[in-house]
Amino acid sequence: MIKFTERRKDFTGTLSIGMIKILFYLLLTFLFLFLANIFIEGIGVISLEFIFDAPRNNMTEGGIGPAIFGTIAVTLMMILFAVPLGVFAAIYLNEYAKNNFFNRLIRTSVNNLAGVPSIVFGLFGLGFFILFLGCKIDEIMETGLLLGQPALLWASATLAILVLPIVIVSTLEALNSVPKSFRDASYGLGATKWLTIKNVVLPQANPGILTGTILAISRGAGETAPILFLGAAFFLPNLPVADLCIGDYCIPMINPAEQFMYLAYHIFILATQSSNPTKTLPIQYGSTLVLIGLTFLLNITAILFRYRFRKNIGRI
């Protein structure tokens, strides 16, 4: 009797587990097909010219160089804003904060910030950075309409707030993983709190911070909605650089008050508004492949770092 019921129950069980396996592999198959389609259609377009040249002839020829440049420029500036802020915030939360209401509120805010829709960030960037801060700065510095309009600076700042939770969470994880014995030893030698953090905890947490930075770059490069009206442009004849001239020597520097081309935005515009969707289709695929290749490269690097870093936690 027992054998009979066991076999019957086993049947449902095996069926259900089989269903789960099928669903999972279906999911993976679809994801691979999706990537394969992009790779196959896009790889033919990729060449050195594609990466470095500007678009020509109404986007039907040429490359995506300025868009890549704009993406790098914006993400670099975004990292300059987000990483120090995020690391310091994480240090506060992990090392200094006591468990009171205010600090729980801060932790809730970090989680909430992670869940804000990206378009709301765009509205915030417009309403706060451009219309409020930008106009105030223009008034104070009397430069006319310089910063009170869509600009690289505001796009980077808005994206920095968007990726802040990523940096904070990664850094928290890294700080948490530093063994107490390290801090113990440091205090035992007479170091103050800040010295301990600076010389003992932070160096140990570096890999985690790096992981957070890489993940933040990847996220920032892929976001389109926030920058739609914060400075991303369809076609600009020049890169957003200005020459900083000292005497006879001119160094090209990124001009934060200019508009920029952005890879993710470029894909969006090509796909929905290009002048000749049939002719630009290969370029659309090429740009998509570049963006997704960049994202994957960054994410894989971050994941590998984190993997090695988590493995090292066991040892002292």
Contacting other proteins within 225-244 (CB under 8 A): 225, 228-229, 233-239, 241, 243
Q: Select from 63, 74, 153, 219 the one that contacts other proteins (CB under 8 A).
A: 219
Nearest approach, Cβ of residue 313 and other proteins (Å): 14
Q: Select from 128, 138, 182, 310 the one that contacts other proteins (CB under 8 A).
A: 128
# residues near other proteins by CB under 8 A: 132
Closer residue to other proteins, CB minimum distance, 82 or 140: 82
Contact string (CB under 8 A) for other proteins, positions 1-20, x = contact = -----x--xx-xxx-xx-xx
Closer residue to other proteins, CB minimum distance, 99 or 140: 99
Closer residue to other proteins, CB minimum distance, 112 or 140: 112
- Does 146 participate in binding other proteins (rule CB under 8 A)? no
Instruction: Give CA–CA dist 169/109, Å, rounded.
Output: 12
Closer residue to other proteins, CB minimum distance, 140 or 278: 278
- Residues 57 to 86 in contact with other proteins, rule: CB under 8 A: 58, 65, 69, 72-73, 76, 85
- Does 247 participate in binding other proteins (rule CB under 8 A)? no
- Does 44 participate in binding other proteins (rule CB under 8 A)? no
- Does 176 participate in binding other proteins (rule CB under 8 A)? yes
| Cβ-Cβ contacts under 8 Å for 178 (sequence gap 6 or more) | 200, 201, 204, 205
Q: Select from 78, 164, 200, 283 the one that contacts other proteins (CB under 8 A).
A: 164
Instruction: Give CA–CA dist 118/225, Å, rounded.
Output: 6
Q: Select from 78, 83, 94, 155 the one that contacts other proteins (CB under 8 A).
A: 94
- Nearest CA to 204 out of 178, 176, 238, 242 is that of 178
- Does 193 participate in binding other proteins (rule CB under 8 A)? yes
- Does 299 participate in binding other proteins (rule CB under 8 A)? yes
- Does 134 participate in binding other proteins (rule CB under 8 A)? no
Instruction: Give CA–CA dist 266/270, Å, rounded.
Output: 6
Closer residue to other proteins, CB minimum distance, 140 or 190: 190
Q: What single string gives the DSSP state of each residue in the chain? A: -HHHHHHHHHHHHHHHHHHHHHHHHHHHHHHHHHHHHHHHHHHTT-SHHHHHSPEETTTTEE--HHHHHHHHHHHHHHHHHHHHHHHHHHHIIIII--SSHHHHHHHHHHHHHHHS-HHHHHHHIIIIIIIIIIHHHHHHHT-SSSSSS--HHHHHHHHHHHHHHHHHHHHHHHHHHS-HHHHHHHHHTT--HHHHIIIIIHHHHHHHHHHHHHHHHHHHHH--GGGTTTTB-S--SS-SEEEEEETTEEEEEE-TTS-B--HHHHHHHHHHH-S-HHHHHHHHHHHHHHHHHHHHHHHHHHHHHHHHHHHGGG--
- Does 288 participate in binding other proteins (rule CB under 8 A)? yes
- Does 181 participate in binding other proteins (rule CB under 8 A)? no
Closer residue to other proteins, CB minimum distance, 140 or 276: 276
Closer residue to other proteins, CB minimum distance, 24 or 44: 24
Closer residue to other proteins, CB minimum distance, 140 or 296: 296
Q: Select from 36, 40, 43, 120 the one that contacts other proteins (CB under 8 A).
A: 120
